[in-house]
Amino acid sequence: MNFVTEEKLTIIGAAGMIGSNMAQTAAMMRLTPNICLYDPFAVGLEGVTEEIRHCGFEGLNVTFTSDIKEALTGAKYIVSSGGAPRKEGMTREDLLKGNAEIAAQLGKDIKAYCPDVNHVVIIFNPADITGLVTLIHSGLKPTQVTTLAGLDSTRLQSELAKHFGVKQSEVTNTRTYGGHGEQMAVFASTAKVKGTPLTDLIGTDKLTTEQWNDLRQRVIKGGANIIKLRGRSSFQSPAYVSIEMIRAAMGGEAFRWPAGCFVKNEKYQNIMMAMETSIDKNGVHYKEIKGTLEEHAELDASYKHLTALRDQVIDMGIIPAVEKW
């Protein structure tokens, strides 16, 4: 079976649980024969590499390094889980300072060693801000950096499939906007269940308003719930979704989820905007977000929250003031 591309994919944080899961997933999906595993903590990295080799994936050439220059040189695709994970009782934003600093360094390294990279997926939290920080320091275009909103859309899809007892593929067009955090706006307007608009089902005995509110909360608190259930933060779902994003960026398959992506608008006013993103072989497409007034009010609140977080990283000196972007 052919690979999607021959180009180099670098997985950052590869000695950790998410990173090693990414490596396995990328190998199983046959994205590229050319996978480089990077982790600054060499312990375990060789073991992960050996295990992937022992799976005997045909034609795969997995290398590993703790040297960032070697890891990034020639990389056309990068996926990074290389920040600190959240622990029980923490919010994603509690990781802001340390992880934003890691993201700033990553952005600088990308600029220095692989400025012609095609696409970067950043998933360490708070993923929207770490994505933004990487974007600014790397000098890449906003369309080249995506974060973790796809995981929230998938969570919504799977919660709805479970509730209605239908196949995952029968729940379509699920969307969450406004970032990958508890401020996210979970949209009802876009989704359909077996072709029926979700909005026609909410408030009926098939999905009471109370059940919908519970379901939304399960999406919003999906990550925190996994920490409660397994004592550690999620690893399989962010790994899978981020590798799907990489596959989409490689043009292997149309993108199924909106990606979190922050852009500055031309007037430098509403600096961060979550856009609906779709990627196909012709490139990346942004669409305007459609929703009800209530959904847009929620979205506005999300933007305010994210803007405040952005301002915190500016105040910390991690990214320059907006007018210098």
Q: Using CB under 6 A as the criterion, which residues of the chain lie in contact with ligand LMR when the complex forms?
A: 86, 92, 125, 148, 151, 222-223, 226, 233-234, 238
CB of 225 vs ligand LMR, minimal distance in Å:
9
CB of 136 vs ligand LMR, minimal distance in Å:
21
CB of 221 vs ligand LMR, minimal distance in Å:
9
Cα distances from 2 to residues 123, 151, 243, 286, in angstroms, run 28, 27, 17, 30
Nearer to ligand LMR, 148 or 191 (CB): 148
Instruction: Tell me the residue nearest to ligand LMR as measured from the CB.
Output: 223
Nearer to ligand LMR, 92 or 119 (CB): 92
What are the tokens at 150?
């796809």
What are the tokens at 317?
């000196």
* 227-236, long-range: CB < 8 A, 24+ apart: 227/86, 227/87, 227/88, 228/88, 231/88, 232/17, 232/85, 232/87, 233/85, 233/86, 233/87, 235/17, 235/18, 235/21, 236/21
Nearer to ligand LMR, 107 or 223 (CB): 223
- Interstrand relation of 34-38 and 196-197 (parallel, antiparallel or unpaired): unpaired
Nearer to ligand LMR, 160 or 226 (CB): 226
- Interstrand relation of 175-177 and 185-187 (parallel, antiparallel or unpaired): antiparallel
- Return the beta strands (E) in the chain as ranges: 8-12, 34-38, 61-65, 75-80, 119-122, 145-146, 171-172, 175-177, 185-187, 192-193, 196-197, 276-280, 283-287
> What is the secondary structure of 215-253 as a DSSP string?
HHHHHHTHHHHHHHHHSS---HHHHHHHHHHHHHHTTSS
Nearer to ligand LMR, 190 or 233 (CB): 233
CB of 181 vs ligand LMR, minimal distance in Å:
8
Nearer to ligand LMR, 89 or 165 (CB): 89
CB of 25 vs ligand LMR, minimal distance in Å:
15
Nearer to ligand LMR, 13 or 223 (CB): 223
CB burial of residue 13 (10 Å; 0-12, 13-18, 19+): buried
CB of 182 vs ligand LMR, minimal distance in Å:
10
- C-alpha to C-alpha distance for 251 and 238, rounded to whole angstroms: 20
* CA of residue 23 relative to chain centroid, distance: 16
Nearer to ligand LMR, 125 or 183 (CB): 125
CB of 178 vs ligand LMR, minimal distance in Å:
14
- C-alpha to C-alpha distance for 260 and 320, rounded to whole angstroms: 22
CB of 95 vs ligand LMR, minimal distance in Å:
8
